[in-house]
Chains A and B, each alone.
Chain A
């Protein structure tokens, strides 16, 4: 079998070679061709993200109601309203709690789950399917189903079971502030854990088994193997998974909307629900746009912070 005779090139050297080539005359043509491939993606980004964001920023400075483009410039009054409205501050608080809570707990559950599901055992495919299933239905459907399961009255499914088995309850799963927050986060974790475990499994299967054989020969315990081999080599998956979880968590709308409708009070109200309610239901598109602009900036800040953190960890381990 023929093997490559080219010397190995590191990424850094490759980039340097590219830069050197670009400085030469022929490099410009090559560069133009390669950049042309980026054009569709750039166009999509500009027309579906940059332009709407710029429009949102413009509307956020007006009293736009959605029915006429004849608007009045209101300066930063929409931003002032947001920062002094208790319901929007409550929405911000729960959105952050949901985003961070689901990211941390799903990650803590999904990695060991993936390790277990990656082992050979009877009925493995069935168990994998069982865990993956909650990721298939829409969150809105899950919210409606769980609304009945967690009904706070005696006839609610969970309360009936607790009463029959232990003679306790009923508990206000959706009617008590803290329990309602807990319930929304719990359902969010339940629906996402299996999907993210599958993501980790895909990376687990790419870890060469020789690493574990060598570790076993050296006398490493399963715990040591997990922390010294599995976890570091899962870092790329960790970056993707936590990034997806955090962005999805911060944008969450359908689950709390169908499960608790943001209540009781504003206990499970989210920023996205606030944007939809202000814009669509209340015709305050100026205010909703201001909220969307602030939220985009906040999410971008968090996402970049998270990317920086995970990249730092990745560089440390890989």
Chain B
């Protein structure tokens, strides 16, 4: 496959006369921030080039004089005339702001939806995300992705992503190229991504180019801001849940910059005075609840020379939830402390190098770590009559985690206008700690203390990958992206290999409509063990092992795309087949058998998902937004679940609708509104009861029977909760002064107060019969936030 690609590329290149290349970076004029996805368009030749993640572009043309248009959404486009008689390095700066001439260049711009070979890839500009309504005034990147077709939320208010029938572990969450394993704060109600620190976010749901691998369902690629190269700036937001501060500026003007951003919730600070006032009613008991989360992003980038650039970025986030209680009674006292904490930390060093006008490389060394810890500690102390103290202490601490070290190199190579080749390789060392419990017992001096660790042993593995892809145009109306991704896993003396072909095509119909199709196979070597219906940090990251085979999938998609006067319309259909899916066996869970190996509690199976997605999106003008609709099916089958029969996935959602409108009322007032509708979640409920009798004493006559009342569940996920629908609205008032812009953001979550189901319980009704009730937890929630940019 690789040699075929090279031959193909060479063949195309040989057919050209003398060519030269114009290359460089495209950046924001005011901040120096590199612009990813900006385009350089040569109307004479009807060819163009887009910038990569680092703002680098490379456009190769035959010798001649050309008019070039450089554009990017939200920026005023610029036109240049160039005499291309040698390779030219040309850095371009664009000014933010909607340009009057935007309509003029609309027809000439490159990278419209019908021009892109890549399908199933979507992006919401960060500026739009910041204007969307937010629960508690806290803007959330993951929740904004849930508004896109094919992407669903896990439950009311939660930030988990279920993409085209996949589970959350099948999403590769990249922060500056580094995988993050847990992206949730506050038990999943918020994601760890601070919008003020983020420059760009894209999601790819299918048709994956060969440069991506390692997950079955989506790639969420988030880039942190590089930091302002020109002048010092900051942003601070105060909402009812948290506050955040972002500072950025030059370390050396136009050479090096920094960006730091921190966020902390103050739920604990708000609740503690209330708890303390309750505590005063009983002086013998004190209760000390705690909950907080924080996250911190930092980045430094340095232009070492014209051709080299270094980036160092870090992320650290932590949640800590717990309850401590102390009770005194006479001469004795006891205390208990229950806690649940999880944390992420990421560090990355990257080196960009331009090998010439046609080749760009990025080398990356990264570390990513996720830890989870929960447990209870109990101690009791009693003073005897002779004032001697007797102590009893017990502690049970459960910990799990994963730590990755990654080295990766990527090359972009543009030999001619028709070919854009990417290739690279990576290797990851995974270290998994899939759940271990530390037990400590101390009964005092008379008994020997116990201090032992139960549970699964750690597992380390090496995952390596290499890829090559070529985006080329064999005919005027046809563009192709063909690639091959190979990966290999070495774990527990077993080696898994996988070759994953990728194909995407774009065929332009005469009226400008693009017909797109793609095929991609993916392999995943890490798994998240989770109990369906609960999205908790207790979910366990486990590796493929000698006994657990990797997850694999293939996905085929086809669709139409076209843009009309600022409107982009796309229609896609897809079918995805998954194998090697991992699930707890019936009756198992993360708390089952503390000394059991997790591999004994799981079963592997298969799944499929299929459906259609429609999106109409308006990206420019005073009114922007989109309407998305998804019709989908997603099913699972495991030998040891549901008697081996197929069943609907928990998040199988037949209909999913989202409407997003953002409107600029005036220079001071912005209005945004969203409305979402989704079919109810599939769930398993106890459906019937019966009484059974079994011998309990085999030494008797056989007539000594023991009776049980058993509740019998429905078929797996045989029921549906009520459909989900909700409207949100947000109004922002901004006031610009000489050096600052201050904004009041008024949001209302669930604006028409529709209680959506969050959990279900069997309960007694008023007339003595039993009923099953759905409960909602989020009514209408108004909120206000204040923001200052300086």
Question: A and B, one complex?
Answer: no
- Report A's interface with B, CB cutoff 8 A: none
- Report B's interface with A, CB cutoff 8 A: none
